[in-house]
Amino acid sequence: MALRAISHPVRVALLELLAMDGPLTATQAGARLDESPANCSFHLRTLARYGFVEEAGGGTGRQRPWRIVSQVIEVPKDELGPAGRVISATLADLIWQREADQARTWQATRDQYPAQWRKAADEVHGLHFLTAAELAQFNRDVEELMSGYTERADPARRPAGTLPISMVLRTFPLRPPTDDAPTDDAPGHQPSDDEPPPGTEAGTP
C-alpha cells in the first residue's frame, strides 16, 4: 500500500527535504538528515517503488540524484478500510509531530532571523462557528490562495530571497453535532446563489 510506504519518519523527512532542496543523492540526503547513505538509499528506493520520487538522471549507486514527483499527497480517509485508517492515523501523527518540532525550532531560533522575517512570520488561532458547508468553502478558498505559489516547487521559478515556508491549516469541529442539530440538507439551510431552489433541476430556468 502506497500509504504504508510513506508512514515512516525517515521517508517523511526525505520527501520534505527533496521538496525544499532536491534533487539530492542518498549521500547528500543522509548528511542533511543525520542518516547513513545506505539507509537513505533504501528509503528512497522504497518511495520510488510507489511513485513518490524518481531518479533525476546522472550518477550511479548512492550518488544517483533523486527528485520528488509530487508534493501533494491526498488521503481519502472516508474510503479507507480499518487497516488503512490505522496507517493513515500513523502518518498523520508523524506529520503533526514533525510540524510541532519545526514550530519549536522556529521559536528557539527566531532571534537568529533578520527582522523582516521575524515580522513576516505569524500564527493565527481562533474559535469560530461555521456550518459544514461554510467550513468546506473556507478550506477551498484558502487552498486556492495557497495554490498561487505551487509553481515554485520548481526551484527555477522561485524569486530571489525566498525561503521554504511552513503553511499549516487545520480546521475541525471541537465536538460532534447533537441529534437535533440541523444539517445542510435540513430545514433552515439557506442555499447558495448557485444552488437551485428545491424541486428545480440544475440548469432549468
Give residue 75's pLDDT. 62
Architecture (CATH level 2) of domain 1-122: Orthogonal Bundle (1.10)
pLDDT on residue 182: 63
User: Looking at residue 65, what is its pLDDT?
Assistant: 93
Residue-averaged pLDDT of the chain = 83
DSSP bridge partners of 68: 53
pLDDT per residue over 93-130, tens digit each?
Answer: 888 898 999 999 999 999 999 999 999 999 888 899 99
Domain range summary for the chain, segments of one domain joined by +? 1-122, 124-205
pLDDT given for residue 123 in this prediction: 87
173-188 pLDDT, tens digit each = 999 998 766 665 544 4
Write out the chain's pLDDT in tens, 205 residues.
677 788 899 999 999 999 888 899 999 999 999 999 999 999 999 999 988 999 988 877 778 899 988 756 666 666 677 777 788 788 888 888 989 999 999 999 999 999 999 999 998 888 999 999 999 999 999 999 999 998 888 888 999 999 999 998 889 999 999 876 666 554 444 544 444 444 444 333 3
The pLDDT score that the predictor gives to residue 186 is 47
